[in-house]
Amino acid sequence: MHRCMSLSAGAAVAAVAALVAALLLLCSMAETEALPKLREDFRRQNKSVFILGVSGETGRVLLKEILEQSLFSKVTVIGRRKLTFDEEAYKNVNQEVVDFEKLDDYASAFQGHDVGFCCLGTTKAKAGAEGFVRVDRDYVLKSAELAKAGGCKHFNLLSSKGADKSSSFFYLQVKGEVEGRVEELKFDRYSIFRPGVLLCDRQESRPTEWLVRKFFGSLPASWASGHSVPVATVCRAMLNNAVRPSDKQKEVLDNTAIHSLGKAKGS
């Protein structure tokens, strides 16, 4: 009898789990089907946006997606050098050239933006340990501080899967630290994206990343999707998330959530 009761309890738990999963799926489907309307409502708000890190692969694709979707009335790129854009679609993009070592002198570049996307990042191999910390922590944090002071309401940070300030891995430790320090600034809305390995054809040559991307590209999709994600999917997820109303002050989207939102119907 006890065994029968145990089986019944197990079946009940399984049934509840299945019901919850079904409800979550229905909510997700309803939400993704509403994306076109959410975008249209968002456009009517005439919001302005700034992007950091457009010289990198993710920032470059994000800017392209933003312009294609026409989500913002004003688009500003903040970087250490002026970029050349040949396409007509980029003609109205504002560019603010700053010295990241003296960002306080360029506070005006961060003023008047409703939304900010930070895609800044380098590698320890390229910049050394000190240079990596300066870019991925110090530049990011100072930019966030100026954005907050300049009126930014929604700050989006591109981080990494496994980011944790207590991690024994230096890279993940720094990523986790900057996540926490930006949170202390108390943006109205703070979105953290933690993708796995970014799959892209990076313009900059990084042999190790190229090998990793080829490795993940050869794996079964079901397994690879848990540990990697195309850059374009990340960018669409960032924008799809931005147009969704939210009452959460902080939200963390892991690799699975990025896949789901970036591939949502209407993306």
27, 28, 32, 34: which is closest to 265 by C-alpha?
Answer: 32
The number of residues in the chain equals 267
Per-residue DSSP letter, 218: T
Structure tokens given for 39: 């975008």
Q: What angle do CA 156, 92, 63 make, to 5 degrees?
A: 30
Buried b (16+ CB within 10 A) or exposed e, 136-162: bbebbbbbbbbbbebebebbbbbbbbb
Is 106 labeled as catalytic in the residue annotation? Answer: no
Catalytic residue chosen out of the listed positions 47, 148, 161, 175 = 175
Catalytic residue chosen out of the listed positions 64, 171, 250, 263 = 171
Contact (Cβ atoms closer than 8 angstroms) between residue 187 and residue 153: yes
The DSSP bridge pattern shows strands 115-118 and 94-97 to be unpaired
Catalytically annotated residues: 171, 175
